[in-house]
Amino acid sequence: MMDVRIDYANLEREFVLAFPDLSEKYQEERQIFGREKELGNYGVFAFVLKPRLKEEFARGVRTEFLERVATFVEKVCTSGDPEAINVLWLEVFRLLFDEPDSLNLLWPMLGDCSKEQIGKAAKKWRKTASLSRKA
């Protein structure tokens, strides 16, 4: 199976394909927003991924789910699509800066491109102290 470039236009669809275990939550959120509508890129990350991410981070251990998240984030970052990457900045990286233990947990699973983007976000938001122990 060929790897698909994940950009802003297909981000939601690729997310749904990559996380079939979140399809029930995705459908619940779609019911709230209106059956025929998609959630949109920000909505799918905010309302479907973030709650599950918080649950996983609360466990404090590396999980298969977190590894899949790291892989997906890396695919988005390597796409180079600034709009898709911005979704990650606002919905994933901001969460990591707010919860340093989560950043510490996810960091070893992240790819180089993801780490580079997190570094850029940290500089922009003056959160570089969160990264001081990484590198």
How much of the chain, in percent, has pLDDT values that exceed 90? 81
Tell me, what's the pLDDT at 1? 47
Contact in structure between 104 and 131 (CB atoms under 8 Å)? no
Residue pointed to by tokens 């901001």: 94
The reply to whether 4 falls in a domain is no
DSSP string, 46-73: IIIIHHHHHHHHHHTS--HHHHHHHHHH
Task: Give the mean pLDDT of 16-26.
Answer: 96
Q: Which two tokens stand for residue 15?
A: 């997310």
Buried b (16+ CB within 10 A) or exposed e, 89-127: bebbbebbbebeebbebbbebbeebbbebbeebbeeeeb
Task: Tell me the average pLDDT of the chain.
Answer: 92
Q: Which pLDDT tens digit goes with each residue over 91-127?
A: 999 999 988 899 999 999 999 999 999 999 999 999 8
Say if 24 falls within a structural domain.
Answer: yes
Cβ distance 37 to 102 under 8 Å?
Answer: no
pLDDT, position 36:
63
Q: Which pLDDT band, with edges at 50, 70 and 90, does 33 fall under? A: confident
Q: What is the mean pLDDT of residues 36-65?
A: 93
Report the C-alpha gap between 70 and 68 in whole angstroms. 5
- Expressed as residue numbers, the domain containing 126 is 11-131
Q: Answer yes or no: is 55 within a domain.
A: yes
How many domains does the chain fold into?
Answer: 1
pLDDT at res. 19:
98
Tell me whether residue 1 is in a domain: no
**Biggest alpha carbon–alpha carbon distance for the chain:** 45
pLDDT band at 65 (very low <50, low <70, confident <90, very high): very high
